Chain A
Amino acid sequence: EAGVAQSPRYKIIEKRQSVAFWCNPISGHATLYWYQQILGQGPKLLIQFQNNGVVDDSQLPKDRFSAERLKGVDSTLKIQPAKLEDSAVYLCASSLDPGHLYGYTFGSGTRLTVV
């Protein structure tokens, strides 16, 4: 099966600019996640979708971050305006279920550098 696709692979922007990341999950996976991974740390969940509804966005900085999952398939994550501390790898993952029986499949991530 095809994996989780993410784009772009790399992005460099100046602080206060905006940026968007795209994710296409594995076909049939109802659950989609966006994680932020700062260098040297484990991934931190930003938002979780079940189909096109938000299940958990408690750690999403909503003043600058937004995400949507149209038609329960592709998803976009946006940062506006970006701060230096947003420099990280943004990982998208999908799963058949919310992790009770199956692990998550991750994309290769988007490495964001804010200068």
Chain B
Amino acid sequence: SQQGEEDPQALSIQEGENATMNCSYKTSINNLQWYRQNSGRGLVHLILIRSNEREKHSGRLRVTLDTSKKSSSLLITASRAADTASYFCATLNTGFQKLVFGTGTRLLVSP
């Protein structure tokens, strides 16, 4: 079963612009993770934010987590064509030890 729902399903921007993707989930979580998947490839782990954290940065990535709203956002600043990929949020639910993925956002960055 899918835990997270990403919004939007697809996003098209120009190089240099910022891209924001949102994720909503349903149950209490231990942590939330974001992954990138290039077409035809496996997933690459980008960043992990724990339930007691509100914001985390990694290079051009900024992730926020609002556990009261059961939502997270991923911001990619100064996007590049190489950022074109699908982005998935995944939650590690409290009491369980399995990572449940959302439906993904397809990002297209045009030169």
Contacts and interface: CB of A to CB of B under 8 A. Distances in A.
Interface residues of B, number: 27
B33 interface: yes
Given A99-B31, A99-B92, A108-B42, A56 B103 contact: no
11 contacts: A4-B42, A41-B2, A43-B88, A43-B101, A45-B98, A45-B100, A56-B97, A101-B48, A102-B48, A103-B45, A104-B43
Nearest to A47: B98
Nearest to A42: B101
Nearest to A55: B97
B42 A103 contact: no
Most buried by B among A43, A44, A100, A101: A43
B41 A100 contact: no
Interface string B10-45: 000000000000000000001101010000111111
Contact of A106 (B2, B44, B96, B100): B44
Interface in A92-113: 93, 98-109, 111
Contacts, number: 71
A105 B48 CA distance: 13
B33 to A, nearest CB: 5
Given A43-B43, A91-B43, A109-B41, A100 B31 contact: yes
B48 A103 contact: yes
Given A43-B101, A56-B97, A104 B45 contact: yes
Given A48-B98, A108-B42, A41 B48 contact: no
Interface in B77-107: 88, 90, 92, 96-104
